[in-house]
Chain A
């Protein structure tokens, strides 16, 4: 019974490149959440998706960031034209309902050179 899967685990990009982070939720979970964590800081909510729909994107920067959760396949967090300030750990979580506990993936550590 696999947990939440994220890939890649580590991603290095140069300024101006695009970063694509993937998340496969736990089996049976249709609710997906993305969080960003800077070193020694808490997790900051970015976006909440439920199969093909964005439920809440109030934590997403207005530019360069987008997220999707297609009918088939993993959820994708896309960051265009990355800048050094985008360097962080990006965690995906999933849940069975919108109020249930969230199970986190191992995260993607993004480094922008």
Chain B
């Protein structure tokens, strides 16, 4: 079936190091969304990418959408302890746009 795969599953970094998580879909996506979930919390929307090759920045976070609209990445520059959490990508897979298929998530741990 249609899937959204995300790697790595876990990432441990020292504070100040960079971090990247990658997302791949088995099918072309109309858009891709990124969410962050803190431990014990709920997913919080970060950004939505729609255009092929799109790049968006939010302070230390850089989001990219691949040219084929089948992959995406999230890069965090100079991580801080407040960046800890699980980062999910999600895309509408199937005929109803509202149905989001989430990747498995990347759990980021930042060591001070």
Q: Are B45 and A103 in contact (CB under 8 A)?
A: yes
Instruction: Write out the residue numbers on chain A whose beta carbons fall within 8 Å of the beta carbon of B90.
Output: 43
Query: Range of interface residues on chain A?
Result: 20 to 34
Known: A31-B98, A45-B100, A48-B96. A99 touches B31 (CB 8 A): yes
**Interface size, chain B (Cβ < 8 Å):** 27
Known: A42-B88, A42-B103. A104 touches B44 (CB 8 A): yes
Residue of A nearest to B10 (CB): A40
B31 to chain A, nearest CB (A): 7
Chain A residues at the B interface, C-beta cutoff of 8 Å = 31, 33, 35, 40-45, 48, 55-56, 58-59, 91, 93, 95, 98-99, 101-107
Question: A42-B102, A58-B99 are known contacts; what are 9 more A-B pairs with Cβ within 8 Å?
Answer: A33-B99, A42-B6, A42-B104, A48-B99, A55-B98, A56-B96, A101-B48, A102-B100, A104-B42
